[in-house]
């Protein structure tokens, strides 16, 4: 159904979709837990891998699931993809499949709070230890990587300071040291950045964010080579982390419009970021598209668009910042991102609430930092809302 050479928007619409025998225009929702066979031989052909077919949904052998996996593999440029019940499920299965007791992970920069907790608290109980390095400590990367380092993990741009990491350079260093590079591409989305094309081994997404795009589903995916995905399959199956078929169907619906949504969000965020930079109440704007931003040159090289996420440091303290946030009407106060509705959050109250004051200071997460996820509302309406809240 899809030509792998087609451009991204075409693949978003068509990749993985099967014209249904009854003529439905794209893959139907097979909301079934199990599938029947006409003979034992036919069942064994699927169980023993001689034939592709549907068997049982928790295994991922369901046409609606396989269809969205082909679509996601195609748009991220990987051989295959496995979907999961959440982004955290995709990450945890990836770490468990590729690390065992005694192995090490190196994690760069700021990462999603759940990822931090998984790496810092959960995995050490299984003997898998993580070394965390800030972006300002990259000169120590060589020293902290050992022959036990299996995975170099990072997000780019990061949450909430939008720090940009050089995927190609880091992936080549990891490869030299025998480690896999796993990139969380949730913030950029495949429209703005393709880590596999830059040398990363595996890409994970919380499909809850841009890929889902409508704040109405929770899911995750890991994309890469069939060789690296293979060991992840049994972890997903036996931890029971499968995405529900209804969610897979909804996600495919969303991915068909991914390019138009993200391109509109890129434009809106760029306009808002440059206006915020001129505003007297604003101390600093973190947006990879701004020439004044530290990661701008690198972002220009490795990203095709700069995304819909902005963070802003205001003049003021925690209370005056919360008051400005509370005056916003169109931006809802919420912890997620990537949907059609614009969202705002003060990271010290949500994503980084659990960190100590010292740890926040070390990470540059100040009290007056505000993170914006630009939705699909009219840019002038969003700007008016920000202006009235700041004035
Ligand atoms: C939300 C998020 C996750 C976790 O995804 P869930 O779908 O909530 O499990 C991981 N990484 C990033 C960058 C996120 O924004």
The encoded tokens of residue 299 equal 């972002």
Domain boundary among 255, 280, 312: 255
Strand intervals (E) in 185-261: 202-206, 220-224
Distance 187 CA to ligand 1 centre (A): 9
Which residues are identified as catalytic?
58, 112, 184, 209
d(CA 136, CA 133): 8
Who lines ligand 1 at CB under 6 A? 86-88, 112, 114-115, 155, 159, 184, 186-187, 206, 208-209, 218, 220
Any domain includes 101: yes
69 burial level (CB within 10 Å; 0-12, 13-18, 19+): buried
Q: Are residues 284 and 327 in the same domain?
A: yes
Q: Are residues 149 and 267 in the same domain?
A: no
pLDDT exceeds cutoff 70 at 352:
yes
Any domain includes 130: yes
DSSP 8-class letter at 81: E
Q: Are residues 236 and 337 in the same domain?
A: no
Distance 189 CA to ligand 1 centre (A): 12
Asked whether 224 and 271 are in contact (CB, 8 A), the reply is no
Q: Which domain holds residue 187?
A: 8-255
Any domain includes 1: no
Average pLDDT over residues 109-125: 95
Convert the pLDDT of each residue in 295-328 to its tens digit: 999 999 999 999 999 999 999 999 999 999 999 9
Residues with Cβ within 8 Å of residue 385, at least 6 apart in sequence = 328, 329, 330, 331
Any domain includes 237: yes
Residue 153: per-residue pLDDT: 98
Q: Identify the CA nearest to 348 among candidates 371, 367, 362.
A: 367
What is the total count of domains within the chain? 2
Point out the ligand 1 atom lying closest to the alpha carbon of residue 115: 10
Q: Are residues 251 and 272 in the same domain?
A: no
Any domain includes 362: yes
Point out the ligand 1 atom lying closest to the alpha carbon of residue 89: 9
Average pLDDT over residues 182-191: 98
379-390 and 318-327 helices, crossing angle to 10° = 140
Q: Are residues 233 and 268 in the same domain?
A: no
- State the pLDDT confidence band at 350, using cuts at 50, 70 and 90: confident
Q: Are residues 25 and 88 in the same domain?
A: yes
Convert the pLDDT of each residue in 253-276 to its tens digit: 999 999 999 999 999 999 999 999
Q: Are residues 41 and 189 in the same domain?
A: yes
Which H or E run contains 309?
strand 309-314
Q: Are strands 180-184 and 149-155 parallel, antiparallel or unpaired?
A: parallel
The structure's pTM equals: 0.96
d(CA 159, CA 162): 6
Q: Are residues 242 and 311 in the same domain?
A: no
Convert the pLDDT of each residue in 6-59 to its tens digit: 999 999 999 999 878 899 999 999 999 999 999 999 999 999 989 999 999 999
Distance 227 CA to ligand 1 centre (A): 25
d(CA 245, CA 379): 35
Q: Are residues 125 and 202 in the same domain?
A: yes
CATH number for 150: 3.40.640.10
Question: Among 188, 189, 195, 209, which is best to mutate for testing ligand 1, by the most ligand atoms less than 8 A from CB?
Answer: 209
Point out the ligand 1 atom lying closest to the alpha carbon of residue 159: 13
Domain boundary among 222, 255, 288: 255
Point out the ligand 1 atom lying closest to the alpha carbon of residue 219: 7
Asked whether 339 and 363 are in contact (CB, 8 A), the reply is no
The encoded tokens of residue 365 equal 């997460």
pLDDT exceeds cutoff 90 at 367:
yes
Distance 207 CA to ligand 1 centre (A): 8
pLDDT exceeds cutoff 60 at 2:
no
Q: Are residues 298 and 195 in the same domain?
A: no
CATH number for 345: 3.90.1150.10
Q: Are residues 157 and 234 in the same domain?
A: yes
Residue 380: per-residue pLDDT: 98
pLDDT exceeds cutoff 80 at 351:
no
pLDDT exceeds cutoff 90 at 93:
yes
Q: Are residues 322 and 230 in the same domain?
A: no
Domain boundary among 229, 255, 281: 255
Q: Identify the CA nearest to 64 among candidates 261, 242, 259.
A: 242
d(CA 145, CA 131): 9
Any domain includes 2: no
The encoded tokens of residue 388 equal 């009235």
């Amino acid at each position: 159904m899809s030509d792998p050479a087609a451009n991204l928007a075409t693949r978003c619409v068509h990749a993985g979709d099967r014209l249904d025998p009854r003529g439905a225009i794209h893959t139907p929702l097979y909301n079934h837990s199990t599938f029947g066979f006409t003979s034992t031989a036919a069942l064994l052909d699927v169980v023993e891998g001689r034939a592709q077919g549907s068997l049982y949904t928790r295994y991922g052998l369901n046409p609606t699931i396989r269809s969205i996996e082909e679509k996601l593999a195609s748009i991220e440029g990987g051989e295959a993809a496995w979907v999961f019940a959440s982004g955290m499920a995709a990450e945890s299965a990836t770490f468990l499949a590729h690390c065992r007791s005694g192995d090490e992970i190196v994690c760069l920069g700021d990462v999603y709070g759940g990822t931090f907790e998984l790496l810092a608290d959960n995995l050490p109980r299984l003997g898998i230890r993580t070394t965390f390095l800030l972006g300002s400590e990259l000169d120590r990367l060589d020293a902290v990587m050992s022959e036990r380092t299996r995975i170099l993990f990072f997000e780019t741009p990061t949450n909430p300071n939008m720090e940009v990491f050089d995927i190609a350079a880091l992936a080549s260093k990891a490869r030299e040291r025998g480690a896999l590079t796993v990139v969380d591409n949730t913030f950029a989305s495949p429209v703005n950045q393709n880590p596999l094309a830059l040398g990363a081994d595996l890409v994970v997404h919380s499909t809850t964010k841009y890929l889902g795009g409508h704040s109405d589903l929770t899911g995750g995916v890991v994309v890469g080579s069939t060789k690296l995905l293979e060991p992840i399959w049994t972890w997903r199956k036996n931890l029971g982390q499968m995405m529900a078929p209804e969610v897979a169907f909804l996600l495919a619906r969303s991915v068909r419009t991914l390019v138009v949504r993200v391109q509109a969000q890129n434009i809106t965020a760029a306009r808002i970021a440059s206006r915020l930079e001129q505003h007297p109440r604003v101390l600093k704007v973190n947006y990879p598209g701004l020439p004044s931003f530290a990661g701008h040159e690198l972002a220009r090289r490795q990203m095709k668009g700069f995304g819909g996420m902005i963070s802003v440091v205001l003049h003021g303290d925690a209370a005056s910042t919360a008051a400005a946030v509370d005056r916003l009407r169109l931006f809802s106060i919420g912890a997620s991102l990537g949907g059609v509705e614009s969202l705002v959050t003060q990271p010290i109250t949500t994503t980084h609430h659990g960190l100590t004051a010292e740890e926040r200071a070390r990470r540059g997460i100040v009290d007056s930092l505000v993170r914006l996820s630009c939705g699909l509302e009219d840019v002038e309406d969003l700007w008016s809302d920000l202006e009235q809240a700041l004035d």
